Structure 1
Amino acid sequence: MTGPARDGGPSAGSAAGAVRPDPSVRAVPEILHELDADPAGGLSDAEAARRLARDGPNELRARPPVPLWRRILAQLRDPLVSLLLVAVAISLVAWLVEGAAGIPADAVVIAAVVVVNAVLGLVQESRAENAVAALASMTRATSTVVRGGRHRTIPSAELVRGDLLLLAEGDAVGADARLVGATALRVLEASLTGESAAVAKDPVTLEGDVPLGDRTDMVYKGTAVVQGVGRAVVTATGMDTQMGAIAELLDATQEEATPLQREIAFVGRWLGLTVIGIAVVVMVVTALVNQVSTLPELVTVLLLGVSLAVAAVPEGLPAILSVVLAVGVQHLARRHAVVKKLHSVETLGSASVIASDKTGTLTRNEMTVERVVTASGEVRLTGVGYRPDGDVLTSGGPLSDGDLAQEVRMVLGGGSLANDARVAEEDGRWTVHGDPTEAAFLVAARKLAGTAERVATFERRGEAPFTSERKMMSALVDPAGPGTWALVTKGAPDVLLDRCTAVQVGNDVVPLDAARRAAVLDDVERLSGQAYRTLGVAYRRVPEGTAPDGLEAHESGLVHLGVVGITDPPRPEVAGAVEQAHRAGVRVMMITGDHPATAVRVAGELGIVGPDAPAVAGPELDRLDPDRLRETTRDVSVYARVAPQHKLRIVDALQADGHVVAVTGDGVNDAPALKTADIGIAMGIMGTEVTKESARMILADDNFATIVAAVRQGRVIVEDIKKFLRYLLSSNMGEVFTVFLGVVLAGAIGLTGAAAQDAVVVPLLATQILWINLVTDTAPALALGVDPEVDDVMGRPPRPVSERIVGRRMWTGMLFVGLTMGLVTLLTMDMFLPGGLLPGHDSLAVARTAGFTALVLAQLLYVFSARSETAGAWRGLFANRWLWGAVGLGVGLQAAVVHVPFLQTAFGTAPLGPVHWAVAVAAALAVVCAEELRKLVLRRRDPRRPGRHGAGPGRRNRQERRLLSDQRP
């Protein structure tokens, strides 16, 4: 398909009504003149800033912000809030029926609850939106431009018409642009045209009305460069681009709900229907027990039922969930893992397989020369990375002067001369500009005294660049002696050896006979078997003044200097991270384009596989049908010499086997696998813009250990969600059981006798139920949402995504706690009421206030038990200061509602004495003790459960956290 016809930019700002032809059919000089663009130096910074201010940022039009009044209405449209408003109406009717005397306290209090809940919802939504916006700013696309004659990398949003855009493989095209020059440039335009094949681009001007998909001299915003390089002048930005034209035609689409969102919605619907049913039953039973016959009594019963339904369902659950996810994602960002979608955290915590690249993720991506083999022997170089610290050693100790030292110096020097890389120290850190393998020679040369200094005396006169066909490169340098220059060559050892006729031995050059040739090949095979990448170095003398053109003609009759073994050392923290992943039941796989021997050696060093583990190469994968591929992926964890389509097939096979797969990638061709994976992870440093856009998570440090840390954090976040769900639902069930059993057992506990003959007997007033909901739900639940790890989340297998967050065992525990809360609350009331099971002599107001207080305290103290389904409440008791603050606030508010006169009037409470408070506290502690006994039984039934014999995050767990925290800046 093709996009809508559109000018594409240069016509913008032209005279009213003037429409110029599309840039694809206009000559480059004409466009450059119209845009006042410089094809060599680009725009100046000042001019670019002026155009940006005039035209606005290069962004598609965002949805207009939702007005505050609409956001408030959205809070009030919640069905549960509607119940609150119904309760306000009922209470106003009751107030009017009773003569409209004084202030309608119930209506005022309930209305205040509505306002407070709406404000809390707005604040929590804003916090979540701000967190997502902050994370989005970390993943914004960038583009390379020429500004003021210098290459600059800028946010794509700052591109302006007339900018000179530089394109290279892996770039996301930041704006619509007319090509000025291109070399082997191919662009994937599927996001715009629907065509899956990459399009070859050429700056030659087109003729006639050309469809969008055939405009080969244009590149468009939102497409991806998959091959080659190019220069283009920006002709349209923002909504003036072809992508902007499509955006104007599309309605906003709704994203598919994640499993977590569906689970929360299911819990909300199920609980809402159940509680409304219970509320109806309570109202009917209350009306029958109390023989309701008057309108005021009927209004009181209706108010009780509505209030019970409202209080029993945690209407703030979605907002609390958003805040908890946002805070968790911010924690991940501080650990260098940027999660682009909040609800992806749940999937991350459920990952059962991590399929990782090798280079740069498991390894340092700092190629290091470790071995040099010459005609006189072999040396080993110590030190890793680009810092030139290390020694040159032989089997007998440090390398001393002699033939071997001379040969090694010539190998490292030659490799440094046939080289396009640079190594420099910047702000105390050694960095590389150019190919890492070439940089390895420069670093190694600095480790052998006198080598780097000798290299610096040579001047480069020309080069024959490396190509995949030649597998070698050469540099023409001088001086190599009186009247001569030298051609220094490095490349694949077997290719280079075929061009050699002699070998360097000390200061002498001797013929390369069959025995010496066989010895060199044996050395190469031995190094390759040890998983080293091998390169050979050779040279020959050429006449002074040799023309730099046509150097390939001189690449024969070379003198072989030696072979180096290069390795990319594993990151030191990865082995510990792999061990932790395995302990967590997460399988680690390596998928790389490297040689199988290299892949197996690195995987073995890191503990991914054992010493004799097999590796499957890409050609072998091609011969496997889907069923055999699934069998292979169950047993093999190392894949080498793979192409992007192989990675995609491996991911598909793992998912077909029921795994939740996290996949890393950095190249353009990794994008399909990243989009297919449950969690696509892009490299933040080495990754291309296209890969970052395809991924759900971006590693800011390209480090595998960060992935494992993110899995751990994902599991902690899911556990925190379960904690506040357990707390909220258990507490709300306690209110339901209190009211329901209080009405049913009113006569047994003395409620009927304590009430006046014409009064409706209820254990709790409607306003008291709403107060409990306000005091105990929000602050403690939020504090649980940021609770530190209690159970050992990495000591158990991943949670299947099909497993409900609120499972049967969790429902059973919540029902037990809710029933216990209801019973101890009613027993507290019975203790102070005359005529019940226990003797008492207080008034109904005092007894009800004591029970009301006991229920509030029980919920506030239960929050410590809710931190784990099996571990004791004492584990990490003081680790969460926010939790203690929330509990302290709740106790203070409850004391105020009991003893402050105007709050007594509003909520129907009476002052309590020391004995009443002591009984209320004891009743609350009884709930916690009952729950702890239940958890003790669970631990004894299954010793493997978290919490058994201190199986939580103990000493070993702390060591793991310290290991992962070493990544922090």
Structure 2
Amino acid sequence: MAARMTGAVSPTQGGFELPEPSHTDADAVARAFVVDPDVGLSEEQVILRREAAGTNELRRARKQSIWRRVGLLLTEPLTLLLLAAVAVSAVAWALEGAHGAPIDAIVILAIIILNAVLSLVQESRAEKAVEALSAMTRSRSTVLRGGAQVGLPSADLVPGDILLLAEGDQVGADGRLIRANGLQLAEASLTGESVAVDKQTGTLPGDAPLPLGERSNMVFKGTAVTRGTGRAIVTATGMSTEMGAIATMLEHAGTDTTPLQQEVNRLGRTLGRIVVAIAVVVVLTISLLQGISTPSEFVAVLLLGVSLAVAAVPEGLPAVLSVVLALGVQRMAKRNAVVKKLSSVETLGSASVICTDKTGTLTTNQMTIERIVTASGTAEVTGIGYEPIGRVTQGGADLRPGALAQEVSEVLLVGSLANDAQLAERDGAWQIVGDPTEAAFLVAARKLPAAVQRSEGYVRVGEVPFTSERKMMSVAVRAEDGALTICTKGAPDVLLGHCTRVQVGEGTVPLDDAGRAGILAEVDALSAAALRTLGVAYRRSARAEDSGSTGAVPFDDADEHDLVYVGMVGMIDPPRPEARPAIAEAHAAGIRVIMITGDHPATAARIAADLGVVTDGGAVSGASLDAMDEERLRDTVRRTSVFARVAPEHKLRIVDALQADGLIVAMTGDGVNDAPALTSADIGIAMGITGTEVTKEAADMILADDDFATIVHAVREGRVIFDNIRKFLRYLLYSNMGEVLTVFFGIVLAGVLGLTGAADGEIVLPLLATQILWINLVTDSGPALAMGVDPEIDDVMARRPRLLTDHAVDAGMWAGIVVTGLVIALVTLATMDVFLPAGLIPGGADDLDTARTAGFTTLVLAALITAFNARSTTASAARGLFSNPLLWGTILLAVALQIAVVYLPPLQTAFGTSPLRGDHWAVCVGMASVVLWVEEVRKAWVRGAHRRRARDVAAPAPHRTKAPIG
């Protein structure tokens, strides 16, 4: 794989064999592919080669069938547990005589089906959104076939096609250049390098495979032409391209379960063991204490065991999880984030590290002039990107008329004339065609109106294009008065060799050695600030044959002499303005941000410092990572937050090292080179605008606006969702534990509590099986769902990210579940004791059915009250008391249903209830409220402990004085 990624590729499509094309002469490549570069392929050749090589498309992952998806959903541990409960309920119903319908089994089965439908529908919607975003990356190409230029979809390219390239084109396949005229390509999607790469046609020396960024005579699928023209022989299509190589890596990359899926599976296994234990203990306890003498008693005990098992399992959990995650996905979509899988939302909320690319993710991917240095000083240019809003300033104030202003205007004028880019506003957005470096001059010139006005009226009459060997370009322009001027821009150190004078104000002075040394010192200063430098110069032509000419003039590189050096610009791909506050918020939330880029280390370090990723320190290069073993790499990753000049395999190693430390890693990116790391990370986040098709396919989530700040919103949303999952888990398990403990202690303490009055030999139960199932139905459905969409009560971004070892139901929550369940059980049994004639509390005069109905009602009310307790482990239930109308609605509905069960005769018969008087209700409400007051006292103590701890940390050390002598 490493060899494939570094370029050891031989085209084998359609039977063609040759060494690495970059090390092969262009004519030999043409002969190998049996094509005339001036004619192209014939239609017959195209048909045969397409049959042999296939279409020029990346192989998509095979979609799972609907039945496969359903099967995966039904084999999750918690779902299997519910299916077991269905089976046991059906068996109990059959043993009891199969009277009526098996309501318990039907209800649980309906919940399982609802969960599966919700999951399938939501994931289907996400897939459609992803397909729509992927369509944005489909391109067209221009080829030479049968001697004629033909425009066609890039998918129709075949090996041997002659690909014609021009500014703005997206390269449709890998190819060997045979012609290049000032050709530059943006290869950031493959290499991460933000600066356009110069291309040439010569054969590269040696035979060892070179990194992609150094194969200057090759073009690659998915990259873009920023300047010049070219012609290339297609050497690889589809999965044989460099982009296809990365796609192949993704096919072999495993997909791990998300932290939420792991947690739900773990909870399912835990509850499964608890359910078996509960059923066994209850049946044995009843058998030992009261005995089982008839088949009907055995059925009653079995049904009670099944009911308790169902009560102990929050069977609404899968459905509530799906609903909560689906609603979270909808909220994310409104914030320009498309989530492909429901569980990915929560995973992002659990992220402890965000590994992000630089170009186009943290930066605008729009080269911007930041400084202009001339003989009279330095000017700053405000504003970022291609939108020409900003000013040219000196020391923070507007540039005043004078020598510096004249020189700055000349720099921008010459840079704009020696320019092949175009800047235009379309549909309210500023866009460029051509090299981003050249476009930066056009944008900066618009920020100085004088420069724009001076550029009007010039006509280009000659050009010497830029080449990587010359490192400069020149144009000859004629003004309206007929005067001819040569405008040149290029690398400052090269440009100085063609200059003899330097402009100062409106005049010029000779350029001596001291002046050259001063300019080169300025170049070093700008480079140290991670700015890319570009110098400009000009010369008024004095050739007689040029005078009065209106057409093209003889012009070549021999005319690039005796130039007047004007100045240079320092430019950079600027950070996104919203990225810095987003990173600061991530840091405040305990999330580490790591920049991983293919750009230059100095540039990466500068951007990282500007954004607050790091406060000091440089970047570690990919070459340094190659020299490290795994242990040293892990230590470096722990201490370093900026990595530059990295390859795809480096990104994978970094992500793996972070995960080896137990961290939950999110990886953002837009280029093809990011895709393997996105797949390996716990959650991959692709850019929707600049992201490639492969990246979007590999990602778990896609940012439609490419805004890093959206990630922070997603983190908050994910944390709120996980908080709400814990809320309804607390609520469900609080009430379920109360039911289990009520039955258990009611059986063990039946004699003490006065639970008597049944016929001799008949088993006496504190709650009937149907009552337990009713409580489960009323409390585990609507209120649990309302808890799942509860607004943020505690500041979720004020806490550290949870680790893989942090469980949704941890030891602290289990302790709270047992304590709260015990309180619910005690108040329920105490209510029954109040109304029973015999027991610990004297004065009762009601029968067993009435006392059981009162206890039954108290348990329902106490379970509903715990919903307010469960919203926070520290905040009072009064905080945001009315912020969740859905919760109030479901609780009021549950109370109304309980009243119906108590008073409606058909329901009384079904659930074994008796009507209650007003004093009964007063006792039930008072007893149920004890659950609230106990929890309020605990929370107040916890808040006080937190305040005392914070005060102790903030308090200064006590001042010590010496004891007086004597």
Q: How does the TM-score come out when normalised to structure 1?
A: 0.77
Alignment of 1:379-778 (within 5 A): 379-394=379-394, 398-479=398-479, 482=482, 485-541=484-540, 544=546, 551-594=556-599, 598-610=603-615, 612-617=616-621, 626-640=630-644, 642=646, 646-752=650-756, 754-778=757-781
The farther-off stretch of 850-859 and 454-463 is 454-463
Structure 2 residue aligned with 1:117, among 108, 111, 122?
Answer: 111
Distance verdict in 2 for CA 1:64–1:616, change over 3 Å: closer
Q: Deviations over 1:742-785 (max 9, x none)?
A: 11111122212x32325321111111111111111122222222
CA contact (8 A) 2:686 2:695 kept: yes
CA distance change for structure 1 residues 128 and 834 in 2, over 3 Å: closer, same or farther? farther
Q: Shift of the alpha carbon at 1:416?
A: 0.9
Shift of 1:855: 1.3
Residue 7 of structure 1, CA deviation? 10
Partner AA of 1:718 in structure 2:
F
Q: Distance in 2 between matches of 1:694 and 1:931?
A: 46
Matches of 2:785 and 2:730, distance apart in 1: 13
- For residues 780-826 of structure 1, what are the alpha-carbon distances to aligned partners after superposition, in whole Å with 9 as ceiling and x for unaligned? 22222222222222222221112222211111111111122122111
1:129 maps to amino acid: E
Of 936, 940, 947, the residue aligned with 1:936 is 940
Q: CA deviation at 1:628?
A: 4.5
Instruction: Letter of the 1:745 partner, please give it.
Output: L
Q: Deviations over 1:429-476 (max 9, x none)?
A: 333333333222112212223322332322234544444444333334
Q: Provide the rounded CA distance (Å) in 2 between the counterparts of 1:931 and 1:274.
A: 25
Distance 1:320 1:948, change over 3 A: farther
1:393 to 1:124, Cα distance in 2 relative to 1, 3 A: closer
Change in CA separation of 1:6 and 1:884 when aligned onto 2, cut-off 3 Å: farther
Quote the offset at 1:926 in angstroms: 1.2
Measured in 2, the distance between the counterparts of 1:934 and 1:134 equals 49
SS of 1:534's equivalent? strand
Q: 1:349 to 1:301 in 2, by over 3 A?
A: same
| Distance in 2 of aligned mates of 1:537 and 1:556 | 13
CA contact (8 A) 2:139 2:170 kept: no
SS class of match (1:710)? helix
Which residues of 2 match residues 82-101 of structure 1 at below 5 A? Answer: 82-95=84-97
The Cα shift of 1:537 comes to: 0.8
Q: Could you tell me which residue of structure 2 aligns to residue 322 of structure 1? A: 322
Cα gap change, 1:402/1:138 in structure 2, threshold over 3 Å: closer, same or farther? same
Give yes or no for contact 1:83–1:306 (8 Å, CA) kept in 2.
Answer: yes
Which of 786-795 and 177-186 deviates more? 177-186
Counterpart in the other structure of 2:43: 30
Q: Which of 805, 808, 815 is 1:805 aligned to?
A: 808
- Specify the SS of the correspondent of 1:756: coil
Q: CA 1:230 to 1:581, structure 2 compared with 1: closer, same or farther past 3 Å?
A: farther
Partner SS state of residue 439, structure 1: helix
2:828 to 819, 825, 828: 825
Q: Taking structure 1 as reference, are residues 180 and 290 closer, same or farther at Cα in structure 2, changes over 3 Å only?
A: same
Aligned partner of 2:336 in structure 1 is 336
Specify the alignment match of 2:25 in structure 1.
none
Cα separation, 2, equivalents of 1:168 and 1:715: 47
Partner of 2:30: none
Q: Secondary structure at the match of 1:372?
A: strand
Inter-partner Cα distance in structure 2 for 1:170 and 1:629? 40
Per-residue deviation, residues 660-707 of structure 1 (Å, max 9, x unmatched): 333333333333443443333333323333333333333322332222
Alpha-carbon distance in 2 for matches of 1:500, 1:538: 8
Distance 1:926 1:803 in 2: 31
Partner Cα distance (2:327, 2:283) in 1: 41
Give secondary structure in 2 for the equivalent of 1:292.
coil
CA contact (8 A) 1:135 1:333 kept: no
Instruction: Report what 2:139 is aligned to.
Output: 144
Residue 66 (structure 2) aligns with: 65
Distance between the aligned counterparts of 1:316 and 1:548, measured in 2? 82
Q: Which amino acid aligns with 2:581?
A: G
What is the TM-score when the length of structure 2 is the normalising length?
A: 0.78
The aligned amino acid for 2:316 is G
Any stretches of 5+ residues in structure 1 without a counterpart? Answer: 9-23, 38-51, 97-103, 189-201, 203-222, 950-969
- 1:888–1:402 CA distance, 2 compared to 1 (3 A): same
Taking structure 1 as reference, are residues 262 and 324 closer, same or farther at Cα in structure 2, changes over 3 Å only? same
User: Does the CA contact (< 8 Å) of 1:170 and 1:224 recur in 2?
Assistant: no
Amino acid in structure 1 at the alignment position of 2:89? A
SS at match of 2:42: helix
Shift of 1:414: 1.1
Deviation at 1:144, TM superposition (A): 0.7
| Contact 2:126-2:338 within 8 A present in 1 as well | no
- Following superposition, the deviation at residue 83 of structure 1 comes to 3.2
Q: Determine the structure 2 residue equivalent to 1:272.
A: 272
The aligned counterpart of 1:872 is 876
Which of 872, 875, 881 is 2:885 aligned to?
A: 881
Partners of 1:870 and 1:947 within 8 A in 2: no
Residue 560 of structure 1 and its aligned partner are, at CA, apart by 1.1
Question: Aligned partners of 2:789 and 2:669: how far apart in 1?
Answer: 31
Partner of 1:816: 819
Distance 2:566 2:898 in 1: 86
User: 8 Å contact 1:390–1:447 — kept in the other structure?
Assistant: yes
Could you report, residue by residue, the CA deviation over 1:77-100 in whole angstroms, capped at 9, with x for unpaired residues?
A: 84434434543443454357xxxx
Q: 1:333 to 1:553 in 2, by over 3 A?
A: farther
The residue type equivalent to 2:584 in the other structure is E
* Structure-2 change in CA distance of 1:420 and 1:167 (3 Å): closer
Q: Cα–Cα, structure 1 residues 237 and 66, in superposed 2: closer, same or farther, change >3 Å?
A: farther
* Structure 1 range deviating more: 26-35 or 799-808: 26-35
CA contact under 8 A between 2:367 and 2:440: conserved in structure 1? yes
CA deviations over 1:693-745 (Å, ceiling 9, x no partner): 33333332233222222222222222222222222222211111111111111
What secondary structure, in the 3-state scheme, does the structure 1 residue paired with 2:877 have? coil
CA distance in 2, matches of 1:894, 1:169: 73
**Aligned twin of 1:898:** 902
Matched with 2:791 is 788
Aligned amino acid, residue 798 of structure 2: G
Contact 2:81–2:268, Cα closer than 8 Å, also in 1: no
Query: What residue identity is the alignment partner of 1:579?
Result: A
Is structure 2 residue 901 aligned with structure 1 residue 907? no
Query: 1:536 Cα deviation (Å)?
Result: 0.8
1:806-855 per-residue CA deviation (whole Å, 9 max, x = no partner) reads 21111111111112212211111222222122232222222222211211
Q: Over residues 582-602 of structure 1, what are the superposed CA-to-partner deviations in whole Å (9 max), with x where a residue is unaligned?
A: 222222233445555554444
Alpha carbons 1:354, 1:663 under 8 Å: kept = yes
